[in-house]
Structure 1
Amino acid sequence: MIKVGDAIPDVTVKHLGANGLEDVSTGELFAGGKVALFGLPGAYTPTCSAKHLPGFVAQYDALKAKGVDKIVCLSVNDAFVMKAWAESQAAEGKVETLADGLAAFTKALGLEADLSVAGLGVRCRRFALIADKGVVTWIAVEEAPGAFEVSSAEAVLAQL
């Protein structure tokens, strides 16, 4: 599992932007400044939709005021689902959503969870991290499935 001091792995993920489906290099995305990244099991799932993403939308101004250049949400979903979810959550323009459809970035981070027993396949564990110029400076991973205690926007703010 990725830890403080590690470089963010360079993996290509997807984003549905103004020009359609785009490749995003995580190495490039994280290289330029301070990024708050949070990962979650899936768009439209209960805790993710009721608490995790909305918390980062609500704390957007506070995070920016503390020096965060980008707020990024990662999930093992496709780019079309991530865009629709961001729109439904009023997150566009505040939180960049990354679609890790094959869980390649999630696995490179060492944060995958096999939720096949629930019919969900390989997903991302719930976590949050801060990276500065591509290097992890803080990370918190929820230990129990369904937990939402250490990866909130407020937890990130407390570390800035």
Structure 2
Amino acid sequence: MSIEIGDSIPNMTLMTPTEKGPGPLSTDDIFNNKKVVLFAVPGAFTPTCSAAHLPGFVVKADEIKAKGVDSIVCTSVNDAFVMGAWGQAQNAEEILMLADGNGEFASAIGLTMDGSGFGMGTRSKRYAMIVDNGIVQYLGIDEKALENSTAEAVLAAL
């Protein structure tokens, strides 16, 4: 069963790229007492994720933050090194890149997909959330095409 509007984000640790290598960051630190836009992609450097999903949030970051959002967070079932390199390649300075390397966060919120047919194993579904003080206010999940989890969809929900 997946997370729903009104549910709390579970307290877990994700990894973020830092100058000294991967660093832990708890979901409590990310979401408590903040308004956060979280979006997830099946894989860094993959076609739709790199051509449309992350770039949409890079372009719209100022508009999203102008709506009272404290931070924009991108997560994927990749390691922190990959997330850091992808963020740099995409000029995603305004976006906190988080690695869910073992897929534990995606699993805990019930938003995994089976990418084994593509040699990718268990990955995160493509989705976006608006989270206010740790509580999900909006959840847009994409099963096929990129539509419910775009920066534009999040802006419309804000």
Q: TM-score range by the shorter chain?
A: over 0.9
Unaligned runs of 5+ in 2: none
Range with bigger deviation, 58-67 or 19-28: 19-28
Unaligned runs of 5+ in 1: none
Contact 2:10-2:108 within 8 A present in 1 as well: yes
| Equivalence for 2:47 | 46
The TM-score with structure 1 as length reference comes to 0.96
Pairing 1:1-160 to 2, within 5 Å after superposition: 1-92=2-93, 94-144=94-144, 147-160=145-158
CA distance in 1: counterparts of 2:149 and 2:57, whole angstroms: 10
Q: Which amino acid aligns with 1:65?
A: A
CA distance in 2: counterparts of 1:86 and 1:32, whole angstroms: 25
Identity of aligned residues (%): 52
Q: Which amino acid aligns with 2:15?
A: K
Q: CA deviation at 1:149?
A: 1.1
SS of the residue corresponding to residue 59 of structure 1 reads helix
Query: What are the Cα deviations for residues 9-43 of structure 1, in whole angstroms up to 9, with x where unaligned?
Result: 11111111134321111122111210000001000
The TM-score with structure 2 as length reference comes to 0.97
Q: CA deviation at 1:135?
A: 0.4
SS of the residue corresponding to residue 80 of structure 1 reads helix
Between Structure 1 and Structure 2, how many residues are aligned?
157
CA distance in 2: counterparts of 1:95 and 1:4, whole angstroms: 23
CA distance in 2: counterparts of 1:134 and 1:40, whole angstroms: 20
Quote the RMSD (CA, aligned, Å).
0.8
List structure 1 segments (4+ residues) > 3 angstroms apart after TM superposition.
none
Q: CA deviation at 1:53?
A: 0.3
